[in-house]
Structure formats: C-alpha cells, structure tokens
Amino acid sequence: MSINTLSLNISPDAWIQTFGGFFGGLLAGGIAIYLFKRQVNLELKRSRVNELQNFLKSYYVLNEWFVRILSTTERLAEIMETDTYSIHDRMEILPYNIESLNTSIYQLNQINDDYIPQDIYKAYLEMKSLITFFKKQCEIDLNRYQEGHLNEPFKGTYRTNYNLLNLYKEEIERYAKNNEEELKKHMK
C-alpha cells in the first residue's frame, strides 16, 4: 500500500481531527507559555516593588539619623577646630555629643541590613564606621583634656570626617531618589 493510497482512505473527519488536535495543542501551548512569561514578569515586578519599598522605608529612617549625625558632627567640627571655644567649654560639650553619636550608632545598628541594597552597602558601612571613628576621636580628645593635656585637637580631622560623612549621605540620597522614581514608575 502506498502513501497516496493510504491518504485517500483516510476520511476528512480524521484529517480535521488530527490537524485540529495538533493546532489546538499548539495554541494551548502558546497560551500557556504566554501566561507563564506574564506571571514570571508580574512576580519579578512585585518582588522589585517590594525590594524598593523595603529599602525606601529603611532609607527614611536612615536619613533622619544621618541628618542628626551630620548636625552633630558639623557642630563638633566647629567646636573642636576653631578658637571660639575654650578647652573647658569643649570638656563640657563633648560628653553630650559623644552620647548623641552613641545613640545614633545604636539606632543605625537596629536597621535591617538586608534592606540596604548591594549598590550602596559599602557606602553605608563606611558611613557607620566613620561615625564610630568620629565618636572615638571625640572620646580621645575628651580623655586628653581630662588628663590635663590641654593642647589642641588634631586640626582638620573633624572637618575632614564631617565632609566624608556628607559625601556618603549624598551618595545614599541619590540612590534613594532614583529608587523613588523607579517605584513611582512601577506603581503606575
């Protein structure tokens, strides 16, 4: 029996059923693939929105503390690096500022690091370590004054560290603004 003879013996219903099943399967498979891709894209978008929201919530808390820290460190740079304040004034002012920095460090450590994106994590860690260093610098100067070493603090280091803190804050702030814009686009 040849193929021509075989094809002539198959009824049109069988052909329709065969090709109908084949094209129906292709159509169903295509729809399933489309729906799968769409679901994956929606899940990726939801995940990204959640990631952005978590970071921005953390950033709003961070920023409040960064503002306080910068205010404290700027004030300390003014106090420690100008001739406006006497050694006695500095000895009275330093403990309050050290305590303020301690509170800030504690609050920064309460923030979940998982919400800080990798892109700015290094800047975040450097900022935290610089704040700790700043506090240590204040404690060293206070101890020197209390022990009677009334010479001046290391000129320039307070202002330099303040400027570095400000740069890190600005880097994190720029990143947050970009994330806010991205979140707004996703929410449309």
What are the pLDDT tens digits along the chain (188 aa)?
A: 455 555 556 666 766 777 777 788 888 888 999 999 999 999 999 999 999 999 999 999 999 999 999 999 999 888 888 888 888 888 899 999 999 999 999 999 998 888 899 999 999 999 999 999 989 988 988 888 888 876 666 666 888 999 999 999 999 999 999 999 999 998 87
pTM: 0.75
Q: Give the C-alpha separation, 94 to 110, whole Å.
A: 24
Length of the chain: 188
C-alpha torsion angle, residues 82, 84, 86, 87 (rounded to 10)? -20
> Where are the domains positioned within the chain?
56-187
Q: Is residue 131 within 8 Å of 165, Cβ to Cβ? A: yes
Residue 50: CB atoms within 10 A of its CB come to 10
Q: Give the C-alpha separation, 61 to 67, whole Å.
A: 10
pLDDT tens digit sequence for 25-52: 888 888 999 999 999 999 999 999 999 9
